[in-house]
Every structure is written in C-alpha cells, then in structure tokens.
Amino acid sequence: MKESGVRVLNILGRDYSIKVSASEEETLQQAASLLRERLDESQQRFPGAGGHELLVLTALNLCVPLLKQGEQLREAEQRLVATAQRIARQLQA
C-alpha cells in the first residue's frame, strides 16, 4: 500500500484536511473538482442560498444519479444471474 498523506481541499472558501492514500489522491481531486463544479451550478440556480444550503442541495443532486446507477447495477446483476442460470440449464440438457 502506498503512503498516506493529508491533502487540503478548499470548498466554498473553507479548507478541509483529508487523509488520503497516494493511490486515492487522484480520485479525491476528481471528486473535489466535481463537487466544486456542481456547487457552482447550485449557486447559479439558487443565488440566495448560503454555503450550508448549497452543500445540502448539491449533495442531494449528486445522490440521485448515484441511486439510479445502483438500481441499474442491481437490475443488470439480476439479468446476468438469470442468463447464467439459463446457460447452465441448457448445458445440462
């Protein structure tokens, strides 16, 4: 495992120190970049919202596609299992 380190990310003008392994650092930077982009979008859509409100709205907007992807993954897994079972039955026949 690669060494862990502390990285400082600035989100909405506030610094957050996050311990991260070297192998996960790029993913963390990508996540922070995505969060900043989505926060910018939320600021444009809700100009009167404060920082806390923007974070909550942005988090919810990020969760919706994540939940949809999880459901799609479960459905794909079910189809895969059903296909594997059909193949196994055909091979036994």
pLDDT digits (tens, 9 = 90+) for 21-78: 989 999 999 999 999 999 999 999 999 999 999 999 999 999 999 999 999 999 999 9
Domain residue limits at 10: 4-92
- Whether this model's pTM surpasses 0.85: no
Is the Cα torsion angle 18, 8, 51, 27 positive or negative in sign? Answer: negative
Q: Cβ atoms within 10 A of the Cβ of 58, count?
A: 25
Run of H or E including 74: helix 51-92
Cα 91 from Cα 93, distance rounded (Å): 6
Q: What residues contact residue 29 under an 8 Å CB cut-off, 6+ apart?
A: 7
| Number of domains into which the chain is organized | 1
